[in-house]
Amino acid sequence: MCISELAILMDLITRPIHELDACSLQDLMPEMPLWLKNLIMRVNWLNKVLSEMWPYLDEAAEDIIKGTAKPIFAEYIGKSIEFVSLSLGTLRPVICGLKVYDTNEKEIVLETAIRWAGNPNIVLLIKLFSTNYSSGQKSLIDEFITNEFVVLSLYKLDHCVLKIDSLCFQLVDLQIHAALRISLKPLVPTFPCFTNVVVSLMEKPDVDFGMKILGGDIMSVPGLYRYVQETIKSQVAILYHWPQTLEIPKLDAST
């Protein structure tokens, strides 16, 4: 640490909240724990339970994520994409607080916020295209063939044809901050006493991640990072922003 940085740290001044002006309070609000707000419960115990259960939840979530993503892939991309590897990693999300609403319906409504700086291992296989190449490009093609992220097949016809069978994208360094509304409904006299978990977003989520292809992080391409982030936020909001929902069935409604 250089001397100038040390001097800045030594000059830091702490003040009680009631002495801060309006602008300072506004800057501070996003960093304040959710449980400081009215009727928001602290859930340290729930985060402890989540820590113990996370290795098992990681495995259990694989089928749910694949089942949820499959129709989305089919609608927006087609049947040309599938999971090669899906693990949520060893770092669990943090639940920042919990609020329970009183309702007259046969349901339990919860609101919470989660922060997750994860280390998932998510690899997607995407089928691509065919193209022609000249003999002068063959050395470049041969170099790509040795890359573990690309699966290539070569066919010799009247001229050289390159067929890229598939391409793997690896998702890394995922960070998510989202405000969720969770409904357990309808309530029934059969364990776990509800038939569906219904999840919706209360606002656009903050999503950040890296994506590797051909061994490099394509999110470092100028302009691509912001475009991808905003596109994902918008598409996720369209699909799941309240009153749109994600419904996860737990029981047969007839039981």
Q: What is the pLDDT of residues 149-159, one digit of tens each?
A: 444 444 333 34
What does the DSSP 8-state code read for residue 215?
A: T
The verdict on residue 212 lying in a domain is: yes
The Cα 39–Cα 24 span in angstroms is 24
The verdict on residue 156 lying in a domain is: no
The Cα 244–Cα 201 span in angstroms is 8
The verdict on residue 183 lying in a domain is: yes
Q: Into how many domains does the chain fold? A: 1
The verdict on residue 62 lying in a domain is: yes
The verdict on residue 22 lying in a domain is: no
**What is the extent of the structural domain holding 183?**
42-81+88-120+176-249
In this prediction, residue 95 carries a pLDDT of: 92
| Strands 194-201 and 246-249, sheet pairing | antiparallel
Indicate whether 141 pLDDT > 50: no
The verdict on residue 134 lying in a domain is: no
Phi/psi of residue 95, nearest 5 degrees? -85, 120
Q: Are 109 and 181 in contact (CB under 8 A)?
A: yes
Its pTM surpasses 0.85: no
The verdict on residue 244 lying in a domain is: yes
| Cα 101–chain centre separation | 26
Amino acid at 106: K
The verdict on residue 223 lying in a domain is: yes
More confident residue, 40 or 135: 40
Indicate whether 27 pLDDT > 90: no
